[in-house]
Structure 1
Amino acid sequence: MISSQAYIDDVSWITDTSYKLESILQIADEFNRLNNIQINPDKFALMTNDTNALKDKFIKLNFGSHVQEIQLIRPTESDRILGAWMNLDFSKVYVFNQCKNIIAGYNKIIRNKQLTDNMMRYIYNAVIIPSIEYISQHTILNDKQVAAPNILAHTLFKKKTNLVMTIPNCMIHSSLGYAIKDISAIQLQRQVTRLHNQLKNKGLLGMLSQLSIIRLQQETLSVNNVLTGWSIHLKDLKIKFNLIASTLTIMYDNNLTCQSNIKRKIMGGQLPITQVLNSDLLFKDRLNYHLYRHNIYFLSQIMAADGLRLLTYSDFDKLDSSHFDHILSNDQTPIVEHWIHNINDDSISPSIQAPVLIKCTGCELKDIQPRSKRKTANNRCLLFIDKKKTINVKAQSIQDAYILDFLVFEYIAMIENRIKYSTTNAQEALVRSMLDFFHPTLLRNQLRNIQDTVKGQSSLTIYTDGSFKRHSNTSVMMGSAFKIIETNSIFQCQIQENPSVIKAELMAMIMALLCLDKGTRVTICTDSQIIINQFSKINTLSILAVQRLKLQYSILWILFIKLIRFKDLIMTLQKVKAHDSDDHSNIVDKLAKEACSKECLVIDPKLLAHNGTICWNHKPMERNITLMVKDIKETQYIEQFFMLNRNRYFTSPSDLELFDWSLTFRYIKDKFDETSAFDS
């Protein structure tokens, strides 16, 4: 027996010509023979959209020292490349059929098996769903395509568990029911998380994602960043083969949006084209392509100067060709004489030649035919221009020519730069004052007063605390407070949204850090061991590494770390025992409890808006995206159940107050946990 070790792998090459492919194959053959690598030529396959090559089933290519016959894959056929199934027609049918076949095969296997409902749920959630999730990771299915495999799963599950077929599917997916995973929910979780990771990436992936977003903004003729201004539903999406566009549509359908500190706003008009033309008209016959090719985003760009007619494509060609003119009449619509750049040497780039202008003897721009019978009059190129679309040019007259003060192409760049991107960054306001992002004014002024009080202090001790009060099953209050010992400064306020003790405590620390000078040595005393442990884990990590951890309230943790590093603070967290003999701790604890009934502090989303921050209902998600999407879908299932016609009795607010919902849901859940159906 000979002991040996072998490695198996596959490889894919992408080229645009058969000549380049043969060159690559020659190098690969030499490398294989040099390193004693064995290959299986029978597994070779070539995917091409060349209609001439597709006439046969095989193609012969030079593979090193011999000719290899390779099987052809047609554009409608799919093949797996790096784990993803794709075809040159960009069709989703193959992946969709794979998803259906996986569930159909699963149904065929378990149809006659004796399984409980819990067994079927485990197999479906832990085996079938991950398989579908992996296959469709680069494909977004529409509502009809998602419904097809879901129906296959629902039907068999109801039969095996002896449930009536009329039971709402939302209760099959809800955690109050059987918690069978929904393909649409899994798809939303996967794609939103993928987009978030793309936008957070600082390397090549992040750069390519930003370029794709700019390209998508041009293709949709959006005057705002498509991440923040997307308003197209999946059923209305006309852009094909764009994963980012499809992801934004399913997010929009589920009230999810993106926030970005990169505005990328296009300026230059009042009424955008997208508000005049609906998506059906905008994408019909590639109209959007022709419009953005001419940099047309606003209605005013396709209207004549008198506002009575639309411009034609020939008008666009005139508008897009910048030219130099000498004004002859200074009216509302001036008459000008066309002048051109004098090119003396064709072998030298015009951009570095002398900026000398001479008269044009006639070209396609000529609008006015002179009435004079003199021959020299016909050699003048006269036209009308729109005075609003001109800039003044400084030049010196020398005989029959003009010499410009700057190069010709510098002036052309000035006039053609009609569309400008506004890339204002909200984080630049960190240099000025972060407190401007806190509202209302009363609380902001209190923080500014504390900021003035501690100015010049090199070392401070701060006590912080957060309070969490549950008044009922539907009412939760949070309060945050801190006290600076050296200056006896105190602050307290109410906090809302995503309530928890950790958030209340963390917000108290953030507000305290906002008031400190740069380089301050600060000791924060807190009774929260969870925050101390979490801080010790992430204190030395980069911001990108903290983002990857997917912490709860990650946005607040990132702001907390940024404040420490921006202000060069030397910070120590110290644990104090709650409700002990420490007077300062007891005072802050009392302030935090009182803060639950005080004025509420509101943080402007711009402060928390990093590029690609995922929001629900236009509010940044402070929890893990996957878990947050799961809770959103769970709420939708319950809402669908209540909106059924059979449950219209429960939609009356007065009737809803008569029910003890906590007891009802607990009873239902216990029933499902204790009872399992068995099909013999």
Structure 2
Amino acid sequence: MLSITEEFYALNNTSANYQKYVLISNFLLLTTTSTILPVEFHLSLSSLNDTSSISVTPLSITSLFCFLGVWFNIKGSRDFVKKQIAGECNSFATALRPAKLSAKQVVYLYNSVLIPKLEYRMQVTHLSAADCYAATRSIRSLVKHKANFSRTFPNPILYLSQALGLINLSSHLIQCHVNNLFLMANFSTPLIQHLFIYRLLLIQFRFLIPISPLMVDDWSLWSTMNAFKCDYIACTLASMISTPFRLQHAHFSSTFPDLALPGHTPLYTCMSPHVFKACLKVLWKCHLYYLSQLITLSGSHLVSWTAYQTTYIAQLTDKRGRSFPHKWYMDLKANTTLPNSHDLLYDRYVCSLSTASSVTLIPGATTTQKNQRWLITLDKNDAPLFGKQLSVQPKKDTCMIVHWTSDCLSSPSDVIRFRPYSGCNAHVLFPSADKYTAVPPRCTFKISLLKSLILPTDYERIRQSTMEVVSPYSWADLSITVVSYYRRFNILPDFSSSSLVVECDSAVASPLGELPILSSLVPLLLGSHYRFYTDGSLINLDTPEVSMGWSWVQLIYDAGYLNSIAAYAYGTIHSQAAIDGLSLCASSSYSNSRLYYKTTNFELWASIERFIHTKRLTVFPVKVKGHDGNYWNEFADSLANSAHHSDTAPLLPATAYTSSHNVRLMFDNVICESNPRRFLKLYSQATFLKDLLSLKRFQFVYCLSNKDDYIVDWELTWFALNFSLAHDASFQASHAARHYTFKFKLFLDDLPLLEKLKITRSDLYIDLLTCCSCRDRMEDLMHLILCSKCRPVMHQIFQTYQNHLFSKLREAGELADIDPTLMLRKLSSFSC
């Protein structure tokens, strides 16, 4: 390749700078302290290339390099990304600190310029909340410095959108990663969906998780493993555990199968965490996922180590031929069985009794190359499969067999008779078969010894004249034993391309098709068409009785009569309550509710669009202007309004408006139809306000149980904190900045009063210090207002505020043509 590159440069009359070549390899186990020697590449000489060799000094695997704008690290460490993020934040803070910018301007630059850059660098990397907090320390310090806040100023007020609005890096990255994962799972391209399923299967197989990774509630067991830290999807799912949000399978189909494996009691729930992680590779090789794989057929006892070694998995001896119980088995036995009870399980681990079989067969894993046996197993259709052993691959627990067939399924009560098979689709050519048999086999393929049993027969050897082999057992005798043994290890995820590359199942019915809205379709005349009118209504928005109705009118326009009508009540009241609860945390306004319903309407139409494509309909959407006299549109509107009070209007099922998604977002077991990123942002804002209210300054809020007694008007509070007077000769920009700082310090009880300084700096301020003006009172906030020495100054300040407020009220009264005298008289009567 380098030779071709040199010839290309020669054709274009250019040359390469070999000093800029980057060579990285995981084969060279280099460290940052070792001596790195250059690697020489010998090139092929030609008429266009006269360079015989090139020397390139390789980078250490711990170093990072950039290729096409993306940074790579062969070691897979997060440290280089962490250093990049911290470096970007520090350089940003260093550049803006000497600039004459206000706090709001710094926040704007950080949110608009730096956050997209950090998001790009961390698009496939997860950092903990502590790492993000440490990386952005310089940004918080800069904002507090520009706003003249102290370093101990509470951080939640920085992140609230109603206050400074600084983006929290950790919360922002969770929003990005969860939104990306949601879009990936519901991507319109089948290839991306197959890749997502494949990645979930890999997570299952790598971490021995027998259920879907979307259903795992605690990732702490795997969070310290290097394989977990390098897995983007696993880290994203783990980051959601700290929130009420979960991703959930909406439905299962041929393209999005159920990933749950058969069995009960996953091993990681009944083993010590450190033992499970230490023995993960051993359990992985043994294909052990569930405790039920190690329970006897009676369901009450753990399989003994001797039985497990000889019956389930052979070749567990050491170099001296000894076989001791593995560490994982001893830990499992200690956690699941009663002491001195001969492997009797605790009641919580006992499973239901299995149907016992009177026939006991020896596992195929005990066979060797010397004693060739007849084996029985199951094919991919769970039908019995018979064959004569040829060669054994003990390290892989597989075996090549000669395929023989039987009609035991048609006569299960008769003894099994099988004959040579001419060939099937599973046939794999085995050229070395002549070494093991004198009769050339017609059909050979590979099977797993872990899923095979040795079958007794009347002929142990195949001869030229052998045309039929008989077993003393019938399929009815063996079916329970064979099927239970085969399925005992039939939980290994299938990563073959054939199981993933599946054509899109166009026959999957849309949930809308289950609704009775299209139940009365009639044949159309040539050139005619159906016409549909839809409408919705929303009532009681600011109350717990919020309700949404939806209607559908269907008619054949040429016929002039109704073909079908339907009215539905929207069944997401609990979801709306969750949205309103989050909104109420940050504001008393329900403005976000309307936005939520608009987004939900989009989800509903996405389901309708999928229904149209499934039924292969031709649709021409037309927007009808509301209340313009259109009879059918008005009729649909009246139906939507009647859905709120009609007992016959069914609830619109959740599957109808989420049918376009394979994976849906859940919030406290409530389906979220809105934009995941917007919903996550709203939740993080509510969390910041909760952190703010947990400060000692606002402890009184938790004493208010009645909403009517809730004396904090958050809308007025945020307006007062963010309000800035117009600049003039007497009130300049510097005055406005100090006024802005004073309001927030007053709001958070962060003014540098003596009583406050005694707590924060007890080494400098002793308890005996009093007000420096009157000398006889403790200087707290109330005394600052009522101090006899400061009263004239404070009265002048309050009088200035009152005059300004009254002038604004008079201006507003003139514009609204309302006399403000009554309001001014009421305000002037207040003692403050």
Does TM-score exceed 0.5, indicating one fold? yes
Of the candidates 662, 672, 675, which is equivalent to residue 624 of structure 1?
A: 675
1:523-551 residue CA offsets vs partner (Å, 9 max, x unmatched) = xxxxxxx9xxx9xxxxxxxxxxxxxxxx8
**8 Å contact from structure 1 (residues 493, 600) kept in 2:** yes
**Alignment-derived partner of residue 31 in structure 1:** 8
For residue 68 of structure 1, report the CA deviation from its aligned partner: 2.8
Name the CA shift for 1:593/1:321 in 2 (closer, same or farther; >3 Å): same
**Alignment-derived partner of residue 548 in structure 2:** 478
1:63-97 residue CA offsets vs partner (Å, 9 max, x unmatched) = 52333332232222222234333323322112112
1:104-131 residue CA offsets vs partner (Å, 9 max, x unmatched) = 2222222233211221111111122222
Question: Which consecutive unaligned segments of at least 5 residues does structure 1 have?
Answer: 1-23, 323-329, 358-387, 438-446, 501-529, 535-550
Distance 1:436 1:571 in 2: 16
Distance 1:657 1:309 in 2: 61
Name the CA shift for 1:48/1:344 in 2 (closer, same or farther; >3 Å): closer
Kindly provide the amino acid, as one letter, of the partner of residue 558 in structure 1: A
For residue 62 of structure 1, report the CA deviation from its aligned partner: 1.6
Larger mean CA deviation between 551-560 and 58-67 belongs to 551-560
**8 Å contact from structure 2 (residues 42, 52) kept in 1:** yes
**8 Å contact from structure 1 (residues 394, 405) kept in 2:** no
Distance 2:620 2:613 in 1: 14
Distance 2:165 2:91 in 1: 21
For residue 33 of structure 1, report the CA deviation from its aligned partner: 2.9
SS at match of 2:58: strand
**Alignment-derived partner of residue 762 in structure 2:** none
- The higher radius of gyration belongs to 2
Of the candidates 550, 556, 561, which is equivalent to residue 609 of structure 2?
A: 561
Of the candidates 355, 361, 373, which is equivalent to residue 340 of structure 1?
A: 373
Name the CA shift for 1:51/1:487 in 2 (closer, same or farther; >3 Å): closer
**8 Å contact from structure 1 (residues 233, 252) kept in 2:** no
Larger mean CA deviation between 593-602 and 293-302 belongs to 593-602
**8 Å contact from structure 1 (residues 650, 656) kept in 2:** no
Distance 2:456 2:533 in 1: 66
1:248-281 residue CA offsets vs partner (Å, 9 max, x unmatched) = 1112322332233334334432222233236544
> After superposition, where does 1:459-608 map in structure 2 within 5 Å?
459-472=529-542, 476-485=546-555, 486-487=561-562, 489-497=564-572, 555-598=603-646, 601-605=651-655, 608=659
Larger mean CA deviation between 301-310 and 109-118 belongs to 301-310
Of the candidates 205, 215, 236, which is equivalent to residue 218 of structure 1?
A: 205
Name the CA shift for 1:468/1:62 in 2 (closer, same or farther; >3 Å): same
Distance 1:390 1:66 in 2: 58
**8 Å contact from structure 2 (residues 63, 73) kept in 1:** yes
Distance 1:60 1:204 in 2: 40
1:269 aligns with 2:256: no
Distance 1:432 1:94 in 2: 48
> After superposition, where does 1:75-114 map in structure 2 within 5 Å?
75-114=61-100
**8 Å contact from structure 2 (residues 373, 460) kept in 1:** no
**Alignment-derived partner of residue 289 in structure 1:** 281
1:654 aligns with 2:705: yes
For residue 226 of structure 1, report the CA deviation from its aligned partner: 1.3
SS at match of 1:677: helix
Distance 1:389 1:350 in 2: 11
**8 Å contact from structure 2 (residues 536, 550) kept in 1:** yes
For residue 163 of structure 1, report the CA deviation from its aligned partner: 2.6
Kindly provide the amino acid, as one letter, of the partner of residue 70 in structure 1: V
For residue 601 of structure 1, report the CA deviation from its aligned partner: 1.4
**8 Å contact from structure 2 (residues 567, 640) kept in 1:** yes
SS at match of 1:576: coil
**Alignment-derived partner of residue 126 in structure 1:** 112
Question: Which consecutive unaligned segments of at least 5 residues does structure 2 have?
Answer: 44-50, 316-356, 375-387, 393-397, 406-417, 419-449, 471-478, 556-560, 577-594, 726-735, 742-832
**8 Å contact from structure 2 (residues 267, 289) kept in 1:** yes
Name the CA shift for 1:584/1:612 in 2 (closer, same or farther; >3 Å): closer
**8 Å contact from structure 2 (residues 459, 469) kept in 1:** no
Larger mean CA deviation between 564-573 and 245-254 belongs to 564-573
Of the candidates 229, 246, 263, which is equivalent to residue 235 of structure 2?
A: 246
Distance 1:109 1:66 in 2: 48
Distance 1:201 1:559 in 2: 13
Distance 1:248 1:224 in 2: 14
1:227 aligns with 2:219: no
**8 Å contact from structure 1 (residues 462, 484) kept in 2:** yes
For residue 197 of structure 1, report the CA deviation from its aligned partner: 4.0
> After superposition, where does 1:623-642 map in structure 2 within 5 Å?
623-642=674-693
SS at match of 2:145: helix
For residue 42 of structure 1, report the CA deviation from its aligned partner: 0.8
For residue 567 of structure 1, report the CA deviation from its aligned partner: 2.1
**8 Å contact from structure 2 (residues 452, 486) kept in 1:** no
**8 Å contact from structure 1 (residues 171, 178) kept in 2:** yes
1:257 aligns with 2:246: yes
1:475-497 residue CA offsets vs partner (Å, 9 max, x unmatched) = 63211123345346443232144
Distance 1:276 1:49 in 2: 37
**8 Å contact from structure 1 (residues 649, 655) kept in 2:** no
SS at match of 1:214: helix
Distance 1:653 1:430 in 2: 56
Of the candidates 148, 156, 169, which is equivalent to residue 162 of structure 1?
A: 148
**8 Å contact from structure 2 (residues 554, 565) kept in 1:** yes
**Alignment-derived partner of residue 668 in structure 1:** 718
For residue 355 of structure 1, report the CA deviation from its aligned partner: 5.0
1:424-470 residue CA offsets vs partner (Å, 9 max, x unmatched) = 99x97965673697xxxxxxxxx53x644445466443332111224
1:419 aligns with 2:490: yes
For residue 611 of structure 1, report the CA deviation from its aligned partner: 3.2
Kindly provide the amino acid, as one letter, of the partner of residue 568 in structure 1: R
Kindly provide the amino acid, as one letter, of the partner of residue 190 in structure 1: C
**Alignment-derived partner of residue 43 in structure 1:** 20
SS at match of 2:548: strand
Larger mean CA deviation between 216-225 and 259-268 belongs to 259-268
Name the CA shift for 1:602/1:60 in 2 (closer, same or farther; >3 Å): same
1:273-313 residue CA offsets vs partner (Å, 9 max, x unmatched) = 23323654432x2x233223222111022345675555559
**Normalized against structure 2, the TM-score is what?**
0.57
**8 Å contact from structure 1 (residues 266, 419) kept in 2:** no
SS at match of 2:124: coil
Kindly provide the amino acid, as one letter, of the partner of residue 25 in structure 2: T
For residue 172 of structure 1, report the CA deviation from its aligned partner: 1.1
**Alignment-derived partner of residue 526 in structure 1:** none
Distance 2:202 2:639 in 1: 52
Distance 1:221 1:80 in 2: 35
SS at match of 2:164: coil
1:193-226 residue CA offsets vs partner (Å, 9 max, x unmatched) = 3323433263765544432221101122222221
Larger mean CA deviation between 311-320 and 609-618 belongs to 311-320
Name the CA shift for 1:39/1:111 in 2 (closer, same or farther; >3 Å): same
Distance 1:404 1:309 in 2: 41
Identity of aligned residues (%): 20
**8 Å contact from structure 2 (residues 536, 549) kept in 1:** yes
SS at match of 2:105: helix
Kindly provide the amino acid, as one letter, of the partner of residue 239 in structure 2: I
**Alignment-derived partner of residue 365 in structure 1:** none
For residue 474 of structure 1, report the CA deviation from its aligned partner: 6.4
**8 Å contact from structure 2 (residues 530, 554) kept in 1:** yes
Distance 1:461 1:583 in 2: 13
Distance 1:432 1:591 in 2: 27
SS at match of 1:58: coil
Name the CA shift for 1:555/1:612 in 2 (closer, same or farther; >3 Å): same
